[in-house]
Amino acid sequence: MFYPIQLLADWLTYSVFSVTPKTLLAGAVNFFIFDTIKIFILLGVIIFVVSIIRSFLPAEKIRDILSHKHKFVGNILAALFGIITPFCSCSAVPLFLGFVEVGVPLGVTFSFLVSSPMVNEVALVLLFGMFGWKIATIYILSGVIIAIISGLIIGELPVEHLLADFVRQNQAKNNLQLPKMNWPQRLNYAKSYTWNIFKKVWPYILIGIGLGAWIHGYVPADFLVKYAGADKWYAVPLAVLVGIPLYSNAAGVIPLVSALTEKGVAIGTTLAFMMAVTALSLPEFMILKKVIKTKLIIIFTLIVGMGIIFTGYLFNFLIK
């Protein structure tokens, strides 16, 4: 499927830049060009398609659907809707308040809050481009399952008193008539959204792929096995801890991590690291502190963190 891009990368490497074939430099340059073109094309296409889908299912509509659902069905739907919803920490508070106020159960709201940043289209494109569709699918499925289970657990806990005092539940004011977009507006929206994301992430992706290319060409293949191979029990929890403060660079982290995986980091550890980078983020915690008390943030982090660690061990065990 990416064969034409490989031809283009070969032509650029050997004919345009005239790098001597079969050298370390040739390998690194070729890898860099191929991956950059492939990822940029995938990003453009997938973000555009997801934006079009989202123009039919904006957060407002998801909220109205979820307000009629109870646990299980609600948690599953919330985790699935989270896939197409972009999530930046600046929208966390309005989303949280908006959901809770119209009577979406707390557990269901949390399923959405976990899934939305963790299973996002940028991470997906990068995983698909760098690891292939199997790992990308495993990532989505585990992300959705972690979101469903974390939400179900939080829904069972007595945590209502851990909401900020001004958060009012069940205010039921979701019957407002909001305008719908027409097709030219949808296309316009998708175009400008795709362009905005692209503008934001391309430097990180270039740096990530650049470092990856360097590692690909110059670091011996089993270099990291003895530090982070599947038999090292501490690798998964450590990866999760390191991932928490790394939120803003998720776009650059994945190409880099893909190169590390090639050099011996176990795949479950890699998955756990990426999930921690996207799902648990310090800036998001700071913002959520306005609406929920620190104790609930800690409970949330522990539940999701344990889910991620479990997933990491599971895939280290399953995929050898």
Partner 1 sequence: MVIKILGTGCPNCKRLEANAQKAVEELGSDAVIEKITDTGLIMNYGILSTPALVINEQVMSYGRIPDVAEIKTMLTNPELTKSTTNSTIPKIGGCSGGKC
CB of 102 to partner 1, least distance (A): 9
Q: Could you give the C-alpha distances from 247 to 166, 191, 242, in angstroms and in order?
A: 28, 25, 10
For partner 1, the closer of residues 63 and 216 by Cβ is: 63
Does the protein bind partner 1 through residue 137 (CB under 8 A)? Answer: no
Name which of residues 89 to 118 contact partner 1 (CB under 8 A): 90-91, 93-95, 97-98, 101
Q: Residue 180 or 226: which CB sits closer to partner 1?
A: 180
Cβ atoms of residues 109 and 154 within 8 Å = no
Half-sphere exposure of 233 (CA within 13 A, CB side): 0
63 binds partner 1 (CB under 8 A): yes
Backbone angles phi, psi at 88, to 5 degrees: -120, 155
Among 25, 57, 73, 172, binds partner 1 (CB under 8 A): 172
Region label for 235, one of left (φ > 0), alpha (ψ between -120 and 50) or beta (otherwise): alpha
199 binds partner 1 (CB under 8 A): no
Which range in 71-79, 87-95, 113-121, 157-165 contacts partner 1 by CB under 8 A?
A: 87-95
Does position 1 interact with partner 1 (CB under 8 A)? The reply is: no
Name the token pair of 235.
């690798």
Q: How far is the CB of 177 from partner 1 (least distance, A)?
A: 8
* Residue 167 neighbours by CB distance under 10 Å: 17
Q: Which of 4, 158, 179, 220 binds partner 1 (CB under 8 A)?
A: 179
Chain residues binding partner 1 by CB under 8 A are: 58-60, 63, 90-91, 93-95, 97-98, 101, 171-179, 181, 185, 188-189, 192-193
